[in-house]
Structure formats: C-alpha cells, structure tokens
Amino acid sequence: MRHLMSPMDLSVEELAKVLDLANDIEKNPEKYAHKCEGKILATLFYEPSTRTRLSFESAMLRLGGKVLGFSSADSSSAAKGESVADTIRVVSCYADICAMRHPKEGAPLVASMASQIPVINAGDGGHQHPTQTLTDLLTIRSMKGRLDNITIGLCGDLKFGRTVHSLIEALVRYEGVKFVLISPEELRIPDYIRDDVLRASGHEFTEVERLEEALPQLDLLYMTRVQKERFFNEEDYVRMKDFYILDKSKMELARPDMLVLHPLPRVNEIAVEVDKDPRAAYFKQAQYGVYVRMALMLSLLGLGVDLC
Amino acid sequence: MLEVGRLNEGVVLDHIKAGKSMTIYRDLKLDKLDCCVAIIKNARSQKMGRKDIIKVECPIDTLDLDILGFIDHNITVNIIKDGDIVEKKELQLPKEIHNVIKCKNPRCITSAEEQLEHIFILADPKKEVYRCKYCEEKYRGHRNK
C-alpha cells in the first residue's frame, strides 16, 4: 500500500505516468466516470480549506465514488483530544482512501504509519502540499509541453510557502530548470531548500527582491499569497501582505508566452485585471488539480497507474 | 588513578569528554538498568588532559551503543568478556535516533501529540545532518552536549 506524503514519494517515471493518466482523464472523462463506484474518500481537514477539499471531493465524485469527512478540527474528535493515529485507525474502517490536511507538520505521516488505507497529505502546516505540486506540474507540462529547460520565477512568501518548497523539490529532478526566487528579505527561501535542494542539485538559481527585475526572463511566474495563518505576529503579516502586486503594467514586462500560476486563493497579489490576460493560467490550474487528484486516487486504489 | 574493580562482562566507555558522563548516563538510560555502573569523573588522560569513564557490568546487547555515535564519536567503546577486552567498537552515526533529542519546531506534530516518539533521521551523513522524521526540521542543537 502506498501513501503520498511528498511529491518526492513518486519517482520521475511514476509521476510521468500519473500525469499521462490525468491528461487522459481530461480528454475522456466518461471513461473514468464509474471507476470508483463503491469506493469512499474520507476528507479529514483539521484546518479550513475550501479549495483543496472541494477539489478532492469533486475528483472522487467524478470517479463515481462517495465522500465523507470533516472540515475543521472543532467538528472532529480532535476537539476531544483524540490522537491523529487513533482517528485514522477508526477512519480506516469507514473509507477506502483518505486525504488529510492538518496545521501540524508531519501529522499525515503519523496517520500513514497507523493507517490501513492509503493516506494523501493534503497540506501539513508550512511543510508539504504534494497534490498542489502534482497540479502545478500537470499545468506546466500540459500548457508548456515540458517540465525541463524552463525558467521559473517563484514570488512572494518563499519562507512559509509550502507549495513553493514542494515545487522546487519536484522540479530539480528535471534538466535545465532555472529558478528565480523573488521575495522580501524576511520571507526568503529557507536554508534547507537553498542548500540541500537547490545547491545540492546544481541547478542555477538567483534571489532577487524586485519582481520587475525578474519578469523579462521568465517562462513561468508562480505567485503565492502571504498567508496570515503562518505568522505568529500580526504586525509582520501586515507589513508583508502587499509587498508584491502583479498588475497589467508589470505584465507588459513579461514574455508574450509567459504563464502566470498561483495555487489560489489569491488576495491582492494578482490584480483582477490580469485575469483577462491569456497568460493568466491560475483558473485552468485549478481544473488540472481535479484531474491530477483523480489520477492519483485511482492509482493509490490500484485502479490506475501501478504504484506498487 | 582511582581504582575501580575490573569488569567480568560489560562495556567500558573511555575518552568521554570531562564532565559529560552524566549526560551519557541519561542518554543511554543507564538509570533504568538493574546492574552495576561506575562513573569516573575527571580522570587523568595523556590524550585529553581530563576525561570521564563509564563502566557498565551487563550483557553487551543491553545497551543501545549506536546513540553514542551521535553524542560523540570520539568515545572509545571497549567490550569486556571474561575480564578481557574482546572488541573495540567503532562508533558510527546512527541512521535513526529515537527519543534522545526533541524537535523544536513549534509547528511539528510532536509539539501537539506528546505520546509520539521523537524520531530523527540521518539525512546527510557527510555533513552529519539529522532531520525530524515528521516535519524534516534540521536538528540545530549541539550533539556533544
């Protein structure tokens, strides 16, 4: 039985097969509409997340399966003090697969160690968010035609932004990827990503503060939101939250084929006027998120790509 | 030097940095053993000036010696059988460490669920980097405490 804790749990070959399956689901959704009949997905969300939870639920419903779960710790047995391990032992009796989001880092791993069913990490604190990474990779590969030889700018909260950490770890496995890390001094990429992932892999990367400086060289711009829930101090959050705003005038500095990605939800970091720009790919990205979660769940349930 | 009786079977930990023997006593959980333990502090040493020594009279497999590699790989481990040194064990960095050091990341699940084991994995043997199994936070404390 396989779980998914980090995008690195899948080899490059396995990942390519999952993305192929996702593309096939996109083209032939009717072929997969009944694949998960009789299967149940448990969505155990200990912190609020409309988007990821609905994406998982939509994915299972589109496969013909059913869904149960909770969407905040208050409405779960965690409020009574139950451990993650005990919760998953019980949920293993009710469902066939589980997606877990938890504010504490490593909670889904604890669950996977006690679980009788596949566990998917749907985001654990500032640590990992592997299905967002699969979504990002599927979007890039589908819209750019490749995952290698790209220059990607990652902008905003690179310190706490788990989507950024996971995406970097996943992309260093491909040749010729260049990274431009755009952030204020206080939200720079953590040392372990800079040293153990970027430097260790030998990929080219630069760190800049000004978005305008980076834009002309990018094939992709990955914007992130400064997340209030990651700050212990309100003052720091207020100072950082509007540091970057991508608007029409900044988009004029970008290449005509540069794509703008964002894990969503956005707040102020992308002006609404950018939505009409054909390079704005973030809503399409949300659509790809459903396809890739369908492909992943099929595979972890032994109904898709062989992950054994 | 102060004389402590010879061991018949057990382990002698030599060349412990002076003053560190009680830390090792705790980390090896020697307080939980029902056997004879001798701690010699500040013994004279040609190599180190001063050193600590621990002698433990017990079957060899009773002790988790791997953890010593994490604490201080300069410690000499002498295995004693029938009153003689039969092996000088080379210390290596353990691949996993259980419940010796704690994850200090306030966002780690171990900060919320106290019954969880604190597990650290050797992530980079060359740089001797350990990371929390759950949140992957690097251990930043001093190993030779």
Give A244-279 pLDDT, tens digit per residue. Answer: 999 999 999 999 999 999 999 898 999 999 999 999
The answer to whether residue A79 scores a pLDDT higher than 60 is yes
Radius of gyration, CA atoms only, chain A: 19
Compare all CA atoms of chain A with the CA of B133 and give the residue at the minimum distance: A106
Strand locations in A174-288 (E)? 178-182, 205-208, 220-223, 259-261
- Whether A230 has a pLDDT exceeding 50, the answer reads yes
pLDDT tens per residue across all 145 residues of chain B: 556 677 888 999 999 999 999 988 988 888 888 888 999 999 998 888 999 999 999 887 778 777 888 888 789 999 998 888 999 887 888 899 998 899 999 999 999 998 999 999 998 888 888 999 999 998 876 555 4
Nearest residue in chain B measured CA to CA from A81? B113
Beta bridge partners of B76: B14
pLDDT confidence of residue A232: 67
Q: Which of A6, A127, A195 to mutate to test the interface with B (most CBs of B within 10 A)?
A: A127
pLDDT tier at A9, thresholds 50, 70, 90: very high
* Residue A46 distance to chain B (closest CA, Å): 12
Token readout for A110 is 């604890």
Q: Strands B129-132 and B36-45, how do they pair?
A: unpaired
CB-neighbour burial class of residue B102 (10 A; exposed 0-12, middle 13-18, buried 19+): middle
Contact residues on chain A for B136, CB-CB shorter than 8 A? 105-106, 127, 192
Task: Identify the residue whose tokens are 């998953």.
Answer: A88
In this prediction, residues A105-122 reach a mean pLDDT of: 97
Contacts (Cβ under 8 Å, ≥6 apart) of A185: A209
**B103, B105, B136: best mutation site toward chain A, by most A Cβ within 10 Å?**
B136
Chain B residues within an 8 Å CB radius of A196: 123-124, 129
Asked if B135 lies within 8 A of A127 by C-beta distance, the reply is yes
A105 with B133: Cβ contact below 8 A: no
Q: Which of A83-87, A216-220, A221-225, B62-66 has the lowest mean pLDDT?
A: B62-66
Burial class (CB in 10 A: 0-12, 13-18, 19+), A245: middle
| Calpha distance A307→A304 (Å, rounded) | 9
Identify the residue among B109, B132, B139 best suited for mutation to test binding to A, counting A beta carbons within 10 A and taking the highest: B109
| pLDDT at residue A201 is higher than 90 | yes
Place of tokens 């990651």: A230
CA dihedral angle for residue A212, residue A213, residue A214, residue A215, rounded to 10 degrees: 40
- Considering only alpha carbons, which residue of chain B is nearest residue A200? B124
ipTM of the complex: 0.85
| Residue A14 CB neighbours (<10 A) | 15
pTM of the model: 0.86
User: Mean per-residue pLDDT for A177-206?
Assistant: 92
Q: At residue A308, does pLDDT exceed 70? A: no
Active site residues of A: 51-52, 80, 101, 129
Taking an 8 Å Cβ-Cβ cutoff, which residues of chain A contact chain B? 83-84, 102-107, 109-110, 124-127, 191-192, 196
A84, A104, A192 member nearest B108 (Cβ)? A104
A119 Cα distance to chain centroid:
16
DSSP string, B83-144: TEEEEEEPP---SEEESSS----TTBGGGT-TTS--EEEEEETTTTEEEETTT-PBP-S-S-
Provide, as residue numbers in chain A, all residues whose Cβ is less than 8 Å from the Cβ of B113: 83-84, 104, 110
Residue A104 reports pLDDT greater than 50: yes
How many angstroms separate the CA atoms of B63 and B79, rounded?
11
Q: Classify residue A120 by its DSSP letter.
A: E
The fraction of chain A above a pLDDT of 90, given in percent, is 79
The predicted pLDDT at position A41 comes to: 98
Contact of B75 with B13, CB cutoff 8 Å: yes
Angle between helices A130-144 and A50-62 (to 10 degrees): 70
- Percent of chain A at pLDDT > 70 equals 97
Least Cα separation, residue A88 to chain B (angstroms) = 15
| B60 vs A128: which has the higher pLDDT | A128
CB contact under 8 A, A106 and B135: yes
Report the candidate in A225, A230, A259, A221 with the shortest Cα–Cα distance to residue A242: A225
Average pLDDT over residues A21-31: 98
Please give the interface size between A and B, counted as residue pairs whose CB atoms are below 8 Å apart.
51
